[in-house]
Amino acid sequence: MNGISSLPNYINGQWLTSNATEYLDVINPTTAAILARVPLSPASEVHQAAEAAAVAFESWRRTPATERVQYLFKLKNLLEENFADLARTITQECGKTLAESQGEMRRAIENVEIACGIPMMMQGTNLEDIARGIDEIMIRQPLGVVAVICPFNFPGMIPFWFLPYAIATGNTYIVKPSEKVPLTMQKIFKLIEKTGLPKGVINLVNGAKAAVDAILDHPQIKAISFVGSTPVAKYIYSRGAANGKRMQCQGGAKNPIIVLPDADMEMTTKIAADSAFGCAGQRCLAAAIAVTVGEARARFTEAIAEIAKKRVVGNGLEQGVEMGPVITSQSKTRIEQLIQQGVAAGAELLVDGRNPQITGYEQGNFIRPTILQNVSPTGEIARTEIFGPVLSLIHLDSIDEAIALVNSGQYGNMACLFTSSGAAARKFRYEAEAGNIGINIGVAAPMAFFPFSGWKDSFFGDLHGQGNHAVEFFTQTKVVVERWPNNWSRQF
């Protein structure tokens, strides 16, 4: 294998070489260097992990919550101690800047911290004397074996929307990392191993569709979390739900930001640029459409174009770089084709970021920030998730038209408003049909103690990741109604 290491799975407390017959190269999107080879594990290895997790569940569920969270306290400290190395690994395999990778790991750690409060978050409800001599109690119990199917764009953060809550509530867990970016989770599992967590409580299986389908079909896996594109989210949700599993599937997005004439334009354009071009636009909360209302058009258009042209693109490990590459050469090609599709449909290329030359990184998957203006609100480019550093500009005459545009979209992940008017802000947050709302915020990412929301084709399920939603998702309620004889004390 030319000196390139093949990644193992982690099952039942052991690092195991996969029996896979197919492997994929893990490629640094900045340099095109091969970092490792990831096995496309067969269904039998998912079965092995599920069986180990099912055995471990019987004792793990009986471990007091106060003891379970001690492993999370240890993990939190280990993540802090290895923070720099993990952030660097994310940049190497995912392409984002080091600052973005550091922000991602900070969010991951925040979720571990919140999950350490599970003894309080899992509290049930007691009501004495619902009738004479009868009490009623609601308690929470874990589901059993649960799993997560992860995307490529946040290899360190997104698994932690789910993982710490799942094991803290008494479940056992299987992680299927994205086959494009498996290295970060390899390192995190080595840290998990150091916590002394009982074998089988948490497992890692690398792979692609065969592994995913095995997770969806396995009878001992009771619940599945997923983050990715909407077509895949629909497939995973449908197949998993048909098999009787509890599902939470985060899909795609086409996030609009609305700019009113009274917005602080200097602040707005900076925030909008960071939202649209941060992480090379490869995040489900990236601004994809900027809707200028009335007189905001000229000032915003000129300012955002200037910022886009000046954004420093290159190796995310280098100081001063503000944007890295997209994940694969196939992604680069697809994004550039969509840009051309927009132009063919009548949009104007205000800033063209296609085919840049990044000195020293000619093999990287780079696209510079791109801005399309005069995009038709009903055109295909305004409806398609590009998932790259491309911002479409649309002009409307009123906030009512802007809100109508927001609500007409297929997706409902995020919508943001920039204004100095409290009345406009209140109207927008009340009427806009999206799960995450920003007011003078470009990336309305909830803190770990709030659920990561999403509406319409951006989410399939009822309970989201993070916070109390995660606790509810990973537990089932049991109501106990009990009566004891009035003379019970005489028995002792």
What are the structure tokens assigned to 289, written together?
């459409």
Task: Write out the E strands in 234-375.
Answer: 246-250, 255-259, 287-293, 348-351, 370-373
Q: Cα–Cα distance between 221 and 51 in angstroms, integer? A: 9
DSSP H or E stretch at residue 238: helix 230-242
Structure tokens at 136: 């009623």
Residues 6+ apart with CB under 8 A from 13: 193, 198, 199, 200
Measured CA to CA, the distance from residue 387 to residue 371 in angstroms comes to 14
Q: Active-site residue numbers? A: 284
Query: What single letter denotes the amino acid at residue 75?
Result: L
- Proportion of the chain in helix, strand, coil states, percent, rounded to 5: 40, 25, 35
Among residues 43, 44, 7, 45, the alpha carbon closest in space to that of 25 is found at 7
CA distance 146 to 169: 11
From the list 345, 337, 392, 249, the residue with the least C-alpha distance to 326 is: 337
Helix (H, G, I), strand (E, B) or coil at 178: coil
Strands, DSSP E only, in 338-450?
Answer: 348-351, 370-373, 390-396, 411-412, 414-418, 436-439
Category of 318 on φ-ψ map: left (φ > 0), alpha (ψ -120 to 50) or beta: beta
Q: How far apart are CA 80 and CA 64, in angstroms?
A: 25
The token pair at 377 is 């609100």
C-alpha 184: how far from chain center = 15
Q: Nearest-5° angle of CA 476, CA 479, CA 482?
A: 155
Beta bridge partners of 23: 39
